Amino acid sequence: MRERNDEWTGLMRSAIAGDSAAYHRLLKAVTPVLRAAARCGLARAGQPVDQSEDIVQDILLAVHLKRHTWDAEAPFAPWLFAIARNKLIDALRRRGRRIFVDIDDFAETLPGEVPAETASAGEVAAQLKTLPERQREVLQSIAVEAASIKDTAAKFSMSEGAVRVALHRGLASLTAKLRE
């Protein structure tokens, strides 16, 4: 457990320092743990667990947009689990259930127990349609076609800076729409 936390904290420090590969690895590493916790929370609230992927994506977006509130001197896991807990409670409340979510649900999840498969998520994809065309195209190019920022810029005859702005604005407004 301690080792895992240290690894996450190290990856997040590298990510903040500008290492996108470390950031990618970190998000990959935390996702199974978040997924297991989301399933556990849904099951306990008597909700179908197949909605867990929407919650996972909601958490990942919040982690991304609020990562400047993480103190690089502090361990990463408590910060992550606080956001995850907040989003899980939010999701359950929106589904009409109020439930106590124990932070230990996250901390006690062992990597071996977590389901590996990705259930389908619909909420982010549905909101994608409502974005302005440019933002949607940029997001799709990077997400679905796995194009780099550079390739995306070339494809739409935009500057790389404009692609970055569209990408970030797209992610921010997706998150805002999910909150509604």
Residues at the contact surface with another protein, assessed by CB under 8 A: 15, 18-21, 23-24, 27-28, 31, 53, 56-57, 60-62, 64-71, 78-79, 81-83, 86, 90, 118, 120-121, 124-126, 128-129, 139-140, 142-144, 146, 148-149, 164, 167-168, 171, 179
Q: How far does Cα 18 stand from its chain's mean position?
A: 18
96: left (phi over 0), alpha (psi -120 to 50) or beta: left
Structure tokens at 161: 């800076």
Under a CB-based contact definition with an 8 Å cutoff, are residues 99 and 44 in contact? yes
Contacts for 154 with CB less than 8 Å, ≥ 6 apart: none
In whole angstroms, how close is the CB of 108 to another protein at the nearest point?
17
Residue 52: what residue type?
S
In whole angstroms, how close is the CB of 126 to another protein at the nearest point?
8
Smaller CB separation from another protein, 10 or 46: 10
Smaller CB separation from another protein, 46 or 103: 103
In whole angstroms, how close is the CB of 44 to another protein at the nearest point?
20
